[in-house]
Chains A and B, each alone.
Chain A
Amino acid sequence: MSTDHSDHSDHSDHSVAPLDGLQHFGRFGVDAALLRDALGAALGRGGDWADLFFEHSVSQSLSLRDGAVNSAYSGVTLGVGVRVVRGDQTGYAYTEDLSRPAVLSAARSAALIAEGDARGALPPSWNATPHPARYPVAREWSSVPLERKLPLLRQLNEEAFAADPRMVKVEVSLAHSDAVVFLVESSGATHCDRQPMTRVAMSCTAAEGEGPAARRESNSASFAARAGFEFLTPERLTRLREQAVQRTLFLFDAEIAPIGGEVPVVLAAGAAGILLHEAIGHGMEADFNRKNTSIYSDRLHQRIAPKGVTIVDDGTRVGDRGAVNVDDEGVEGQRTVLVEDGVLRSYMHDRISAQHYGVAPTGNGRRESFHHAPVPRMRSTYMTAGEHDPADIIRSVKRGVYAETFTNGQVNIGPGDFTFYIKTGYLIEDGRLTRPIKDTNIIGNGPEVLERTDMVGADFTFDEGGWTCGKAGQSVPVSLGMPTVRVSKITVGGVGG
C-alpha cells in the first residue's frame, strides 16, 4: 500500500482532443443557439462574465448485506447551472429542465446580481479547450454486466466470514459513476470533461461471547479512485477485506485512549493527511482569506511551520480521487505548493479569489454538482516526505499516542481549532507501541500544531480511501497523504489524566 509520492504524480500530462460537449448535451436539446442566448441573457444586466455548467451523470451502486447482493441503486443527474459574476459578487441559478425557456429563465435570474445594461458582445464562436487526461479508464463500467460484479462482492463476504469465527455481519458496497460536464464561458472558451469515479467499501461487525454479555465491534475500510472496472484488482480487493477484518478485530483488544490531555502524537503515514486537510487545508482556501476570516489571512509568505515541512494540494495525480483535469470553472488542475519548507506560499484559488489577490487561479474552483456555484476546494492534500526513519520517530516519544486510522475531522476556520477522530492506534510508552487504542478524538489549533510538527518521516504514503469533504453544503471527493510525523504535543481526548 505504501507508495512513493513521485511514482504516482503525473509529470507527463498529455492533452487529448476535447470532448464535444455540444454533441453530448445535444441529445437533451442543447444547441449553440441556446448557449449564446443563455449567456446573452446572463450578461443582460451588466455582469462582468458568465458561465454555463451542464452536467450529466449516471451512477450505480450495489450493496451486499446478510450474504446477498440484494439492493441496488441507479441515478441520473442532469441539469445546468448559470453563473454571473460582477466583481466578487455572484449570481447563480440552476434547473434540471434543459428546455430553452427554463435555461433562459435561469440565466435571467442569475443576471439579477448586476444592475445595469449589458456590456460587450459575446465572441463569434466557441473554442473547445484541450485538457490533460488524468482519469484513464481501461474498462468502462458501462461495458461491465451486473453479473460480473456480483461475484466480487460475494467473494469478499465469504472471505471475511472465513477469516474469523467472530464475524457476525458483513456489508460490501460498490459504487461507480460516470459524469460528463460541459462548461461554456462567456469568453468563448468551452471545456468538456468526463469524470469517472469508483468506490468500494466493506464494513464488518464481529462479536465475542454470547447473549446480552456479548461484546461487539464494527469497523470498515474503503478504496476509491477516478477509474473504471480495472480498479477492482484481486490484490486491491484482498487488501480491502484484510483491512476491514483486521481493523474490526483489532478493536476487541483496544480501549479509548487512557490519556486526556496534551501529549506527543505520532501520526502514521497515509490517512493522517486528514490532519493537513483540517488543520491547514480549509484555512488556506482563498475565499476565507479574501474575506479575512481565516486564521491564515495575514500569514502569506510567513513561516508557519518548521523547515522541512512542505504541504501540497495536487490535482495532477493520475487516477486519484482528488484529481482534476479541469476545475469546475475552466482552470486546468495543478499541483499547488501551499507550504514550502515551512513558509506559506499560496492559497487555493478560484477565479474570484485569484482576481482579488491578482494571481493566477490554481484550479481549485470545484463544486458538488450543477446545483452549486464553485468555491475554492481541496483536491489531494499531502505533506511531502522528510528525512526521519519512522521507527526513530516512535522511539523519540516517552509517553504519547500513535494514530493509525481515522474516520472524520472538522475545523473552525477563524480560530483555527480542528479535530480528527482516531479509530485505531496505539499508546506509545518508552518509545514503543504498546496498548491498542480506539475511538479517541484529537483536538488542536492548526497553526500551533503546524509549529509543533517537529519530525517528518521518509515514508510518504498515499491513502486510497474514499474521502469526501464537506463545505458550505457541498460535498466533493478528495484524497490525502502523509509521511509519519510527530507533533510534539496536542490534546488527546481519551479518559483519565
Chain B
Amino acid sequence: MTQLLDQTRRVADLALSLGASEARVSLGRNRGVNLGWRDGRIETLEDHTSQGLSVSLFVDGRFSSHSTGDLRPEALEPFLREAVAMTRLLEPDPARSLPDPARYAGRAAVDLDSVDAGYGDVTAERRRDEARALEELTRDAAAALSAGRGGPAVEVVSVSTGVGDHRGQSARVHTNGFEGEREGTSFYASASLTLKEADGKRPAGGGFTYRAHRGDLRPLEVVAREAAEEAFGKLGAQKLATGKYTTLVKAEAVGRLLGALLAPLSGGALQQRRSLWEGRLETQIASPLLTLRDDPHVPRGLSSSLWDGDGFATAPRPVIEAGVLKTFLIDDYHAKKMSLERGEPVWATGASLHSLQWDLGPLGFDALVADVRDGVMIDSFLGGNSNATTGELSLGCAGRRIRDGRLAEAVTEVNLSGNLKDLWRQLVAVGADSYPEGASNTPSCVFEGVQLSGV
C-alpha cells in the first residue's frame, strides 16, 4: 500500500512542478475474476488486472480533471504537461480550489474491516463448483415451486449463475494535506432463472449476494430460492385495472423510489436550480414514518469510508428525521459556488451517503400484506424517470395484486405515477424487514392512494 501512496505523491508533486497550483490525485489498482455459468457449464471466464490514475488540476484559478490508464513514466509527464496547459486556457472559476484542510481532520478511528484475509484462497475449482452448485439449487427450488403449484411442470428455459471475487487498492493525495489509502475485497454469487409460459413469454427472476468478506455471503440456497420465487411470482401476469391503490413496495424495490427522493439533495442540483427540495431544509418533505440516518462506518460495509470525495472526515448523520429534511448533500465545490452566488456562506455538508439506517416498523413483509388487505405489491420497477426539478415521476413496475390480505395474481405492464412531493407523504407503514444487499438497507414500504395505470 505504501508503494501506491508513494506513487500517488509523486504524481501530485509532478503536477505541481509542471505548474499546477494545487492537485488532487487518485491512483487505483484492481484485480478480479468473474465466472459465468449457464445450463451445466462455464459460459464466460473473465480475469482482469486493472490500473487507473485520476488527476484534478487547479491552475491559476482554473480547473480541469483527467484520467489515464497509461502510467508509463514517459507518457505521464507529457500527459500532465498538456493537461496543465489546457487548464490555463479555460475561464477562471473562483469556487475551484481544494477544500479547507481543516475539514480533513477528525478521521474516525474505526476499523472498517474491508479486507477478507482469505481472498487469495479462492481457486478456479472452487468458483466452478459454487457456480454449478448454485445452478443445481436454483433448479431444485424451481422444481419445488412447480410441484407446489400442481398441474403440469413449469418449463425451465435456462439457469445462469455467476460467482466472482475482487480486490482493489487505491491511494489519494491532495496537495494541501490530505492523504488516504483504501483496500477492499468483494465477493458475489448470483443466479438467474428463466421460465417459459404457454404464450411464449419468459418470466425471469434473479437473486444475488455481494459482500466484502466471503464468509458473509448469504447462503447459496437463499440466493437460489430468491431467483426461483421471483420468476414463479411472475407467472400468469395480468394487466391491472387503472386506479388508486394502497401499494406495498417490497424492500428490494424501494431503492428506486428512495433514489428519486434523494437525488435532488445534491449540491449540483441545488446550485443549478434543479432541485424540488430547494429551500426545504428543516421542513416536512415526507411522512413522519420516514427516518434515515447515514452511517459511514459500518464494518465490512461495501460503501463504508472514513472520508468522502472531498477528503472530509465522515461521521454518522441524520438525513431525514420523522419526515423532516435534516441535510442537503453538498460537496465543497458547490458550497463555494453557492456562497459566491448568494453572498452568504453555504456549508459543504458532504456529498456522500454510505449506509442508510431506517427506523423500522413493527410488521414484517407478510404482516404488511395482510395489513394492506386490498392493494398491490410492487417487487420490481422497469424504466421510467423522475423530474428532479419538479418532482413528477412515472415508473414502470410489476408485482402482485393483494386480495383479502394475501398475495394474489401477478400483475405487469403497470405504471406508477405521481409527484415526489406527495408520494413520500403517502407513506403509511415501514416494514420490519430490511433488504440485505446494498447499502440502502431498505425495508418494505406501504404508500396509500398511489396512482397505478394499467387497463
Binding site for B on A (CB under 8 A): 28, 60, 62, 65-66, 68-79, 88-97, 102, 105-106, 109-110, 112-113, 146-147, 150, 168-169, 171, 205, 207, 212, 215-218, 251, 256, 260-262, 278, 291-295, 297-299, 371, 373, 407-421, 438-445, 447, 491-497
* CB of A316, distance to nearest CB on chain B (Å): 29
B89 touches A440 (CB 8 A): no
The reply to whether the CB of B418 lies closer than 8 angstroms to some CB of chain A is yes
Centre residue among A69, A97, A171, A443 by max chain B CB count within 10 A = A443
B48 touches A441 (CB 8 A): no
Which residues 405-419 in B have Cβ within 8 Å of A in the complex?
412-418
For window 71-90 of B, CB contacts with A under 8 Å fall at 71-72, 75, 79, 82-83, 86-87, 89-90
Residues of B close to A415: CB separation below 8 A = 201-204, 234, 237, 412
Which B residues lie within 8 Å of A443 (CB)? 382-383, 396, 413-415
Q: Which residue of the partner chain, among B42, B68, B388, B412, contacts A417 with CB atoms under 8 Å?
A: B412
**Least Cβ–Cβ distance between A420 and chain B, in angstroms:** 7
Closest CB-CB distance, B72 to chain A, in whole Å? Answer: 8
B307 interfacial contact with A, CB 8 Å: no
B384 and A497 contacting across the interface, CB-CB below 8 Å: no
B437 within 8 Å of A by Cβ?
Answer: no
Complex interface: chain B residues within 8 A of A445 (CB): 413
Given A71, A205, A421, which contacts B93 in the complex, CB threshold below 8 Å? A71
Complex contacts, A292 vs chain B, CB 8 Å? 157-158, 194, 196, 202
The answer to whether A113 and B273 touch across the interface, beta carbons within 8 angstroms, is no
Question: What B residues does A218 contact at CB under 8 A?
Answer: 274, 387-389
Measured CB to CB, the residues of B under 8 A from A are 38, 41-52, 62-72, 75, 79, 82-83, 86-87, 89-93, 96, 124, 157-158, 160, 194, 196, 200-204, 234, 237, 239, 242-243, 272-274, 279, 337, 341, 382-390, 392-396, 398, 412-418, 451-455
Assuming A95-B48, A441-B385, is B69 touching A417 (CB within 8 A)?
Answer: no
Complex interface: chain B residues within 8 A of A150 (CB) = 89-91
Q: Taking chain A's interface residues, is the majority helix, strand, or loop, or is none over half, making it mixed?
A: strand
Contacts of B389 in A (CB 8 A): 205, 216-218
Instruction: Decide if B453 touches A494 in the complex (CB within 8 Å).
Output: yes
Chain B residues in 8 Å Cβ range of A261: 242, 453-455
10 more CB-based (< 8 A) A-B contacts, given A76-B70, A292-B202, A293-B158: A73-B64, A218-B389, A260-B453, A261-B455, A291-B160, A417-B412, A418-B382, A439-B385, A439-B390, A441-B395
In the complex, the chain A residue whose C-beta lies closest to that of B397 is A443
CA separation between A441 and B260, bound complex, in Å? Answer: 15
Q: Are B47 and A109 in contact (CB under 8 A)?
A: yes
Note all chain A residues with C-beta closer than 8 A to B415: 260, 419, 441-443, 491-493
Task: Give complex CA distance A216, B387 in Å.
Answer: 11
A91–B41 Cα distance when bound, in Å, is: 13
A256 in contact with B51 (CB, 8 Å): no
By a CB distance below 8 angstroms, the chain B residues around A251 are 390
**Which of A78, A415, A419 has the most chain B CB atoms closer than 10 A to its own CB?**
A415
